[in-house]
Amino acid sequence: MLIIHLVSQEWKKNVRAQGFYRNLAVSLLLGIFALYMSVIFLFLGFSLNELLEKAHNTLNPTELFNGGMLYILLCGLAIRFFMQQLNTVNLPPYQVLPIKRSSLINFLLLKALFSPLNYFLLLVVVPFAVKSVVGYYSAAVAVRFVLSFIFVVWFNSFMASFLKRKYGSNLLSFLLVIAVLGVIVALEYFEVFSLFHVSKSVFGFIVFKPYGLILPLAAASFAFLLNKWFFAQNFYAERFNRKMQGDKVFNANLSFLDRFGVVGELIALEIKLILRHKRTKSMLYLSAFFLLYGLMFYTQPVYASNSGMLFFIAMFMTGLLMFMYGQWVVSWDSAHFDSLMTKNVPVKTYLSANYYLLLSFNVLCFVLTTPYFYFGMKIVYMHLAAFIFNTGVNIYLLLYLCTYNTKRIDLSKASAMNYQGTTFKSFLIVLPIMFVPMILVTVISTFFSMTVALWVLTILGFAGIVLRQPILKLCVNQFNNRKYKLAEGFRQGE
Amino acid sequence: MIQVNKLTKVYNGVTVLNLPLLTIPQGESFGLVGNNGAGKTTFFRLILDLIEASDGEVSIEGQKVMRNDSWKTMTGSFLDEGFLIDFLTPEEYFKFVGKLHHKSEGDITEFQDTMRDFFNGEILETKKLIRDFSKGNQKKIGIAAALIGEPKLLILDEPFTALDPSSQIRLKRFLTDLQTRFNMTMLISSHDLNHVTEVCKRIVVLEKGKVVKDIETGEDTLKELEAYFAV
């Protein structure tokens, strides 16, 4: 009975959240994306048997899959550790009501298992089990195979939430996890220690023996009890919250910015904002990943002839931070927007500060991507053109268009895959910035040549740099016109 | 100091504020009272150019505030937590606001020292971020920050709520002191009729966006207001 109430209250919380309907467009787009991924996964599931049959000459696909299971488990755990949002019920209002605490905690923990995202990989596993495992062994083994996978998902979900609650995800744990995974892969590669063989025998036992399923079920229960233990240890929300908020306050010396006057002060403020909030920090980590995009594309001969695509990658990487930060350049200040608008900050100064911040991000990313110059002069020219185009054109587009993002951004909510504050407009802002140059390059290089295309973009970029003052003036006017809409939107919480 | 001309604000067809003419001279302490929804905060937001007037205008020292930056140098304000920058420590925040007014580090430290009495030892040197302070202490931080630039005009929305009794008395003394020493113009809204009649020389009562009373504070003011609000 109680559980039903809790479930219905959670549902109301979601449906009654402001902006639920306004965000329908975003949800729709995400839905289409999910559908697309589902199709790909299903396709993979049906073709996995053939792929694995070709992969090894002595082991059959099921054995190979079992060998990979511990890797899947570990990677899943790592991904969950960083991406999975901790389930929270706002405890205090319930704590004072006559509800048994253990029911609350059970609800909190079990709720996570009902997220459909958990079972996404079943789209691969079930077709594979039906097609391959049944074929090689029997239906009973196939059922156990699928069940063992589900138990692994449960184990991962519980374990990740325990580890995350206990240790929190910060840069150190991030590096640690990456290092551990790296070591395991290295040991396997140099044939010192094979996790593959361990995994093959463990999961062989689980899948082929009738009572083998006890093992993963026991592991999942153990992880569940670990969570219970954690909550028993941290009975009071106060102690629990201290753990969550215990992030160290960034306190580096930014006094070198003092000499730039009010603009410098504003930039220092934005840097503190970035380093003192979860959402912005995870944006930085994510950017580090995206910087490696070039390795994927520049090494593929398929893309070498596709100049539009290559330029897209070059522009994306050289302007990475600028795009990630810039698409919400005013919205980051949404919580203290009224403050900035009534304090002695002229609009022009405010926008100039943001301009210089974006500019420095741009320079930073350009410098960080210089190792790609190793891939040849073509890349050098492309990165240079992209850098100049970003500096002279895209930077202003961001400053101008960001004024259409009128939703408050909650900086305290963390991490990747966080779409809070994203509306349909946010997509409309980014699309032209990302794709117009790509189309431009494709068209010009088809009719003339890549060199001409790059020169056109470079000249556009230089024009933008020279015309900085009048263009910024335009942005100031736009900001002044949109100011009331922004202030009104930012005052409305979720 | 402030000149209000035919100012109206309409939300979805409902007029929430309608002030045909209102003048607030330099050095006046102006108290604004009214029940919830009377338009007090809307009026303050219009003065601070945070919302767009449906019609009419507000001028500070002859300058229209709309899409203008010049009034910001002489205006200090604190309406709600949105006026704080909550991921800074109080010291960092004071320094930031001080720098916006071109103050030196020394000036800012000196300013903080004058506030120690008001802060009651709970705000400075605590190494806490503003977001971790209680509502009352956040309010003190906001009020203090509004005063850093030696404003000619101070706008406070319900400054007494959420403060403890001692802080309320300190704040009253402090505001009266600012009036006599700097001849500062003040706009204060409050639900506490006692406090507002003590601090302000002129009281304006708003109801449904209209001025219904505009009185000089005298001996009978409090009684008159209490009679007006009695149900």
Helix, strand, or coil (residue A301): helix
User: Structural domain of residue B193, as residue ranges?
Assistant: 2-229
Measure Cα distances from A422 to A274, A328, A382, B98 in Å. 18, 9, 31, 34
Mean pLDDT, residues B40-45 taken together:
92
Query: Which ranges constitute the DSSP H helices of chain B?
Result: 40-47, 90-100, 105-119, 135-147, 165-182, 193-199, 221-229
Beta B55-60 vs B2-11: how paired, if at all?
antiparallel
Select the residue of B69, B101, B149 nearest A347 (Cβ to Cβ): B69
Chain A interface, mutation test: which of B44, B96, B150, most A Cβ atoms within 10 Å?
B96
CB contact under 8 A, B129 and A347: no
Beta B185-189 vs B29-33: how paired, if at all?
parallel
- CA-nearest of A261, A162, A271 to A220 is A162
Task: Please report the DSSP string for B151-199 in residue order.
Answer: -SEEEEESTTTT--HHHHHHHHHHHHHHHHHH--EEEEE-S-HHHHHHH
ipTM of this complex: 0.84
Per the CB < 8 A criterion, the answer to whether A315 and A386 are in contact is yes
Q: How many helices (H) and strands (E) does chain A have?
A: 25, 0
Least confident of A145-154, A358-367, A418-427, B29-38: A418-427
Q: Measure A480 CA to nearest chain B CA, in Å.
A: 6
- CA-nearest of B68, A108, A67 to B57 is B68
In this complex, is the C-beta atom of A254 within 8 Å of any C-beta atom belonging to chain B?
no
Q: pLDDT by residue (tens digit) across A140-181?
A: 888 888 898 999 999 988 888 888 777 765 667 777 877 888
Q: From CA B198, how far away is CA B207, in angstroms rounded?
A: 22
- What pLDDT score was predicted for residue A246? 43
Chain B residues within 8 A of A273 when measuring between CB atoms = 87
Chain B interface, mutation test: which of A280, A337, A344, most B Cβ atoms within 10 Å?
A344
Which residue does chain B place closest to A333, by CA atoms?
Answer: B85
Decide if pLDDT at A226 tops 80. yes
Interface of A with B in 305-364 (CB under 8 A): 335-339, 341-348
Chain A interface, mutation test: which of B83, B89, B127, B157, most A Cβ atoms within 10 Å?
B83
Least confident of A288-297, A376-385, B34-43, B58-67: A288-297
Chain B residues within 8 A of A339 when measuring between CB atoms = 82-85
Query: What's the distance, CA A257 to chain centroid?
Result: 31
- What pLDDT score was predicted for residue B157? 93
Least confident of A18-27, B31-40, B219-228: A18-27
Least confident of A219-228, A425-434, B213-222: A425-434
Say what the alpha-carbon torsion angle A354, A357, A358, A359 is, to the nearest 10 degrees: 120
CB contact under 8 A, A483 and B67: yes
Decide if pLDDT at B185 tops 90. yes
- What pLDDT score was predicted for residue A186? 85
Q: pLDDT by residue (tens digit) across A320-336?
A: 899 888 888 888 898 89
Q: pLDDT by residue (tens digit) across B75-97?
A: 999 998 889 998 888 999 999 99
Domains in chain B, number: 1
Please give the mean pLDDT across all residues of chain B. Answer: 90
Provide the residue count of chain B: 231
- Chain B contacts to A (CB-CB under 8 A): 48-52, 67, 69, 72-73, 75, 77, 79-80, 82-89, 92, 96-97, 99-101, 127, 129, 132, 149
Measure Cα distances from A433 to A316, A330, A436, A441 in Å. 10, 17, 6, 13
Give percent of chain B with pLDDT exceeding 90.
Answer: 53
Adjacency order of strands within the sheet including B210-216: B75-78, B153-157, B185-189, B29-33, B202-207, B210-216
Q: From CA A334, how far away is CA A328, in angstroms rounded?
A: 10
Decide if pLDDT at A257 tops 80. no
Q: From CA A312, how far away is CA A298, in angstroms rounded?
A: 12
CB contact under 8 A, B82 and A336: yes
Residue A406: pLDDT band (50, 70, 90) is confident
- CA-nearest of B1, B5, B190, B194 to B79 is B190
Beta B14-24 vs B29-33: how paired, if at all?
unpaired
Beta B29-33 vs B2-11: how paired, if at all?
unpaired
Tokens (6 digits) for A53: 């049959």
Tokens (6 digits) for A228: 């219970």
Q: Measure B129 CA to nearest chain A CA, in Å.
A: 9
Per the CB < 8 A criterion, the answer to whether B197 and B188 are in contact is no
Select the residue of A245, A345, A348 nearest B100 (Cβ to Cβ): A345
Chain B interface, mutation test: which of A338, A351, A491, most B Cβ atoms within 10 Å?
A338
Mean pLDDT, residues A61-82 taken together:
84
Tokens (6 digits) for B201: 């020389």
Q: pLDDT by residue (tens digit) across A272-310?
A: 888 888 788 878 877 887 888 888 788 777 777 778 888
Residue A243: pLDDT band (50, 70, 90) is very low
Q: What is the DSSP letter of A392?
A: I
Q: Measure A391 CA to nearest chain B CA, in Å.
A: 28
Beta B210-216 vs B202-207: how paired, if at all?
antiparallel
Residue A390: pLDDT band (50, 70, 90) is very high
Q: From CA A220, how far away is CA A241, in angstroms rounded?
A: 26
- What pLDDT score was predicted for residue A275? 85
Q: From CA A4, how far away is CA A91, in angstroms rounded?
A: 17
- CA-nearest of A111, A141, A116 to A129 is A141
Q: Measure A89 CA to nearest chain B CA, in Å.
A: 21
Select the residue of A272, A336, A487 nearest B50 (Cβ to Cβ): A487
Q: From CA B134, how far away is CA B138, in angstroms rounded?
A: 6
Contacts by A295-304, CB closer than 8 A, 24 or more apart: A298/A372, A298/A375, A298/A379, A299/A375
Beta B153-157 vs B75-78: how paired, if at all?
parallel
Helix, strand, or coil (residue B91): helix
Decide if pLDDT at A245 tops 50. no
**Residue A333 backbone dihedrals phi, psi, to 5 degrees:** -85, 15
Decide if pLDDT at A415 tops 60. no
Q: pLDDT by residue (tens digit) across A95-135?
A: 667 777 777 778 778 877 877 778 888 888 888 888 888 88
Q: pLDDT by residue (tens digit) across A351-371?
A: 999 999 999 999 999 999 988
Q: From CA A142, how far away is CA A122, in angstroms rounded?
A: 13
Q: From CA B197, how far away is CA A48, in angstroms rounded?
A: 80
| Token pair 């420590």 in the structure block, residue | B89
> Taking the alpha carbons of B70, B74, B79, B82 in that order, is the dihedral positive or negative?
positive
CB contact under 8 A, A339 and B49: no
Say what the alpha-carbon torsion angle B134, B139, B140, B142 is, to the nearest 10 degrees: 120
- What pLDDT score was predicted for residue A352? 92
How many other CB atoms are there within 10 angstroms of residue B48's CB atom?
22
Select the residue of B73, B82, B96 nearest A269 (Cβ to Cβ): B96
Query: What's the distance, CA B51 to chain centroid?
Result: 16
- What pLDDT score was predicted for residue B184? 92
Please give the mean pLDDT across all residues of chain A. Answer: 82
Q: From CA A261, how far away is CA B185, in angstroms rounded?
A: 29
- CA-nearest of A132, A134, A130, A126 to A150 is A126
Q: From CA A177, how far away is CA A156, in angstroms rounded?
A: 15
How many other CB atoms are there within 10 angstroms of residue A242's CB atom?
11
CATH number at residue B164: 3.40.50.300
Q: Phi-psi region for residue A267, left (φ > 0), alpha (ψ -120 to 50) or beta?
A: alpha
Q: From CA A160, how far away is CA A176, in angstroms rounded?
A: 15
Q: How many helices (H) and strands (E) does chain B have?
A: 7, 10
Q: Measure A265 CA to nearest chain B CA, in Å.
A: 7
Work out how many CB contacts closer than 8 A connect A with B.
75
CB contact under 8 A, B100 and A265: yes
In this complex, is the C-beta atom of A265 within 8 Å of any C-beta atom belonging to chain B?
yes
- What pLDDT score was predicted for residue B187? 94
How many other CB atoms are there within 10 angstroms of residue A112's CB atom?
19
- What pLDDT score was predicted for residue A242? 47
Q: Phi-psi region for residue B62, left (φ > 0), alpha (ψ -120 to 50) or beta?
A: left
Measure Cα distances from A353 to A360, A430, B80, B157 in Å. 11, 21, 25, 30
Chain B residues within 8 A of A277 when measuring between CB atoms = 87
| Token pair 């402001």 in the structure block, residue | A18
In this complex, is the C-beta atom of A273 within 8 Å of any C-beta atom belonging to chain B?
yes
Chain B residues within 8 A of A480 when measuring between CB atoms = 67
- CA-nearest of A422, A360, A432, A425 to A393 is A432
Mean pLDDT, residues A457-467 taken together:
93
Q: pLDDT by residue (tens digit) across B124-133?
A: 888 888 988 9
Mean pLDDT, residues A379-394 taken together:
92
- What pLDDT score was predicted for residue A21? 57
Per the CB < 8 A criterion, the answer to whether A337 and B44 are in contact is no
Chain B residues within 8 A of A335 when measuring between CB atoms = 82, 86
Residue A89: pLDDT band (50, 70, 90) is low
Name, in order, each residue with C-beta under 8 angstroms of A470's C-beta and a sequence gap of 6 or more: none
Q: Measure B227 CA to nearest chain A CA, in Å.
A: 35
- What pLDDT score was predicted for residue A253? 65
- What pLDDT score was predicted for residue A291? 84
How many other CB atoms are there within 10 angstroms of residue B167's CB atom?
21
- Please name every residue paired with B30 in a beta bridge, in sequence order, or none if there are none: B187, B202
Q: What type of residue is A384?
A: L
Chain A residues within 8 A of B67 when measuring between CB atoms = 480, 483
Select the residue of B73, B84, B89 nearest A339 (Cβ to Cβ): B84
- Please name every residue paired with B60 in a beta bridge, in sequence order, or none if there are none: B2, B63
Chain B residues within 8 A of A253 when measuring between CB atoms = none
